[in-house]
Copies of this chain bind each other. A is one copy, B any other.
């Protein structure tokens, strides 16, 4: 990611959790890295499968941990799903399982939110990470599907990692239960699907080969970035999974965001990096 690597690059897209921040801590090197990009007139943005918070809420969080970023730079599954449905179907009636922010973001796009327990069926059921999900909701969704409602998910991740090797259930686990009961396949809009990436590229008027996707998740960030034709940088984070994955899955591999900063800012580190990769 020195001159040579960055030649032809207009925009860098970063994953957030596990890449730019870890839990409630900004990744070491994130701030100088973004400064360095600004200095080189390379634009950047953030793409996250987060389905519980809007870009506005995440901007607030980033500010609290020391990073001042414009809301418009943060592309979330939460904010995007209403736009996607509007483009595909126009204004529709929607029942949701997920956070109140997900509801707000969908309503903001003009859709009509209907309570899940409402006896009238909705056109679409949007599924996000619902920490209040219950068997009863699962049964209601099963009934809605048999009445013809379309189910669509924010993201297909089965879990996200938390401190102490914990696995926190993600939207994809809820979707697994819904798919089992209904026998349908639920489409998702988050990474690795192309929609958030394409939206990001369009936002900057950039072609895919002028974009770079940087993230820690090979199955979402790297796979999805590659699929739309971007260059990809995998942030390894000393992850246990590192050994089990092929480096060939991503174009470049860095140990951390700090290493990426060094490579971008310091020519001699870039030389060494080129030899390793």
Chain A positions within 8 Å of B, measured between CB atoms, are 130-136, 138-139, 142-143, 146, 158-159, 165-170, 172-174, 176-183
Q: How far is the CB of A151 from chain B (nearest CB, A)?
A: 13
Give 19 A-B pairs besides A142-B169, A159-B181, A169-B177 with Cβ atoms closer than 8 angstroms.
A130-B135, A131-B136, A132-B134, A132-B135, A133-B138, A135-B174, A138-B173, A142-B166, A142-B167, A142-B168, A143-B166, A146-B165, A159-B180, A167-B182, A170-B181, A174-B177, A176-B179, A176-B180, A177-B177
Residues of B within 8 A of A180 (CB): 158-159, 169, 172-173, 176
Taking a contact as CB atoms under 8 Å apart, the answer to whether B169 and A181 are in contact is yes
Tell me whether A183 and B158 are in contact in the complex, defined as CB-CB below 8 angstroms, given that A133-B134, A136-B131 are known contacts. yes
Decide if B158 touches A181 in the complex (CB within 8 Å).
yes
19 contacts between A and B (CB under 8 A): A130-B135, A131-B136, A132-B134, A132-B135, A133-B138, A135-B174, A138-B169, A142-B167, A146-B166, A158-B180, A159-B180, A159-B181, A167-B182, A169-B177, A169-B181, A170-B181, A176-B176, A176-B177, A177-B177
